[in-house]
């Protein structure tokens, strides 16, 4: 076994994201709609933005579980910026700030 294998690490990451996304596909689809709406309005978006918009409509971002890692799909590009999350459940971890790759 090779302790460091970038290709295998990427393969396992993509597999894990696909499994998580499949198990929460309906809510994940809604979260992606919120993310697209917010990025089109504001130019950038992050997980706290999506969580807030979902909460305003009675949905819980935390219900995505591991599928939350798939909200910002190939339509999005990381800006290189991060913020500290303000949601208590995140314990202040950093989250990426995203923009659209192109107008979709």
94-100 and 76-84 as β-strands: parallel, antiparallel, unpaired?
A: antiparallel
Coil, strand, or helix at residue 37?
A: helix
For residue 91, what is the enclosing H or E element?
none
* 3-class SS of residue 10: helix
Q: For 67-103, what is each residue's pLDDT tens digit?
A: 999 999 889 999 999 999 999 999 999 999 999 997 5
Contacts of 36 (CB under 8 A, 6+ apart): 75, 100, 104
pTM of the model: 0.85
Whole-number Cα distances in Å, 69 to 3, 16, 96: 24, 10, 11
């Amino acid at each position: 076994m090779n302790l460091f294998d970038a290709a295998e690490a990427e393969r396992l990451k993509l597999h894990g994201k696909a499994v998580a996304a499949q198990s929460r596909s309906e809510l994940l689809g809604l979260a992606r709609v919120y993310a697209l709406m917010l990025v089109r309005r504001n130019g950038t978006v992050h997980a706290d933005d999506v969580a807030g918009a979902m909460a305003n409509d009675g949905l819980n971002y935390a219900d995505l579980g591991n599928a939350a890692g798939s909200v910002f799909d190939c339509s999005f590009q990381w800006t290189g910026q991060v913020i500290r999350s303000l949601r208590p459940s995140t314990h202040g971890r950093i989250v990426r700030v995203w923009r659209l790759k192109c107008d979709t």
